[in-house]
Amino acid sequence: MAILLALLGVVVVMAVVVKPILTGNPPDLSLPSLPGFSPEPTPTPQGHQAAPTQATPRLTVAKTPTPTPTWSGTSKTLGYVAVGTPMTTPTFTRFPEQTLVPERLLTYATIQSVGGGTTQTVSMPFPYWELHYTVDPWKTTFVGKTESKAAGIAGFTASEVFPSFSIEVRDAADHTLVRRIEPQGGLDATLWEKEKESDPRPWVEKFYEGTTARSYYFVVHTHMVYSYKMEVKVPERYLGKY
């Protein structure tokens, strides 16, 4: 114990007296650190702030992006995340084959003339009706002499003619155009004379009225025709019902 006290005294003298003289600093009266003891922190005087401690920079490791796989050309099958209920297959009953009897038509109104014009109004209370029409056109080639033999050799001319025929079906209430009708295939009397099976007359137009009763009139346009005939026909089963 005496030896330890002597050594402690020497350390104190060196720290308090000898070291300040050699360094020129004021004497340090704090006790030296002893093994197993940690000194208490010295309080910072008011009005002064301790210098901030610089943080050690953290190194960031860059991640290598995962490459996007390219398509190899192989087709793939997709499944379903929700499955619907399939519809049941309906069953059908086959009816015995029957030969339908052609419906008989009655003539409701007739229009016949040699030139065009506007017809009178006709009331149409039927849900269905048909318009049958036929035309007698000029032949496609017309030849006529134009000079007299007295003046020399008689000359002649041959001109091509193009007969035409059309029907405008108009609503009698507001005069709007319901349908414009023209013969399909045109008018060719010469062809019809050579080939009877090529004659399309009469032409037929069908009208479906439903439950609406309407009135109509017809505007007929003719060019190079001798005559024409139009017939409005309705089913026989309508007789006595309308």
Q: Is 8 within a domain? A: no
At 101-141, the pLDDT tens digits run: 788 999 999 999 999 999 999 999 999 999 999 999 998 76
The domain in which residue 171 lies consists of: 105-238
On whether residue 93 sits in a domain, the answer given is: no
How far the first Cα of the chain sits from its last, in Å, is: 145
Domain CATH code at residue 223: 2.60.120
In a domain, 2, yes or no: no
**C-alpha–C-alpha distance, residues 133 and 166, integer Å:** 11
123 within some domain: yes
Asked whether residue 119 is assigned to any structural domain, the reply reads yes
pTM exceeds cut of 0.75: no
Report, as ranges of residue numbers, the positions in the chain whose pLDDT lies below 70: 13, 15-61, 68-69, 71-73, 75-84, 87, 89-100, 141-159
The answer to whether residue 86 is domain-embedded is: no
Taking only the tens place, the pLDDT of each residue in 146-169 is 566 555 565 666 667 789 999 999
75 in a structural domain: no
- Read off the tokens for 49: 């702030």
- Give the Cα separation of 126 and 55 in Å (integer): 101
* Residue whose tokens read 């005939």: 229
Number of domains in the chain: 1
Say if 200 falls within a structural domain. Answer: yes
Nearest to 211 by CA among 106, 123, 129, 125: 125
Contact 138, 237 (CB under 8 A): no
